[in-house]
Every structure is written in structure tokens, then in C-alpha cells.
Amino acid sequence: MSAPVPGPASRSRERNIERGAFQVGVGYEFVRFRSSPFYASLSGLHTSFTYFRNDWLGIEGSVIAAFGSSNFANEHSHVVLYGAGPRMVWDRRTWQPWAHALAGGIHVYPQLASGINGFALQLGGGVDYPLKPLVSLRIESDYVRSQLYSSGQNSVQVGAGLVFHF
């Protein structure tokens, strides 16, 4: 008797096991925060964790902590951005382009007007390039929509870092 031929679901599972169903990303992030009270250019750390359910769809959680120079009244600015949502990947073997949509929150300092915490939505994507079997280089960019100070903000962030697969 011949061995059964694995179907599409089996091949997807095999590829995830070979490459790893989990990803941990860490890297540098530049955030250009724009709001009516102030603008800030911030640099910091971006971390993410993704669990892939199959070859193309994962669940991602992300935290960004970025710090800037003095803006007004000699106060330093910082932003903490956190969210979770789906991540879609195309061709996980080489040059893996991906897109994500993350919903969560934002914490901004200095505190002005009506508060420092609010809702945030990140829409964007990037590309991962394998350096070693379980390590990739990541380049990414996101549009960030946040709701603070009784108004909406449109910001952008770009980053680069490493991704570890396991």
C-alpha cells in the first residue's frame, strides 16, 4: 500500500512547524506623533508577538515605547502604543510581505487638556527577510489613528528590527 498524500492543511502545518508557528519581534521604531496641542518626533523600542494559526494568518500583539526631546515647557514627550489584531503573511519562505490591523490604546506624555490615554488603531505592513533559518530582518511602516485630547490624530511610524521564529 502506498502512503497517503498530505492535503493542503497538512502541508501548512508542516511548514509552520519547520519555520515556527510563533514570532517574537524586537527593534527600533521612529514615531511622528501629530496632534493639535503638539507635534513630536520620538525614537524607541518596538516589540511584537505573533502566533500563526496557519501559513497566512496570525494573531499579533504589539507594544511600542518611544521617547522624544523637550517640546514646550521643557517637558520630554513619550508615547506608549499597544494593540492586538490579525496579521496576514504572503509566502513565508523568503521576502515575506505582511499586513496587519491592530486595535488598542495609546498613552502620551506630556499630559494636556482632557487626558493622556486613548484609543489607537494601527494599519500597516512590512517585509521580513530571512537571515538565518530562525531569524529574520524586519522593515515596517504603519499609519496610526488615535483619539486623544477630544480630537483625532493621524500619525506615522516606521521601524526595523529582528524577528525570532520558534
The answer as to whether 8 is a domain residue is no
> Measuring CA to CA, how many Å separate 113 from each of 78, 121, 144, 148, 151?
16, 21, 21, 9, 11
Instruction: Let me know if residue 81 belongs to a domain.
Output: yes
Per-residue pLDDT of 84-93, as tens digits, reads 999 999 876 7
This prediction has a pTM of 0.83
| Structural domain that includes position 98 | 22-165
Residues near 52 by beta carbon (within 8 Å), at least 6 away in sequence: 16, 21, 22, 23, 58, 89
Give the model's pLDDT for residue 105. 97
- Here the CATH number for the domain that contains residue 37 is 2.40.160.20
Asked if residue 15 belongs to a domain, the reply is: no
Residue 1 lies in a domain: no
* Cα atoms in the 13 Å half-sphere on the side-chain side of 105: 6
Per-residue pLDDT of 97-154, as tens digits, reads: 999 999 999 998 876 544 488 999 999 999 999 999 899 999 999 999 999 877 889 9
Number of C-beta neighbours around residue 8 at 10 A: 9
Is 35 within a domain? yes
- The confidence score (pLDDT) of residue 63 equals 98
For the record, the C-alpha cell of 49 comes out as 508577538
Query: Vertex 55, ends 135 and 133: CA angle to 5°?
Result: 20
Say if 17 falls within a structural domain.
Answer: no
* Residue 127 domain flag: yes
Tally of structural domains, the chain: 1
DSSP summary character for residue 150:
T
Please report which confidence band the pLDDT of residue 15 belongs to, taking 50, 70 and 90 as the band edges: very low
Query: Is 7 part of any domain?
Result: no
% of the chain at pLDDT higher than 70: 80
Neighbouring residues of 43: CB distance < 8 A, sequence distance ≥ 6: 28, 29, 30, 31, 66, 67, 68
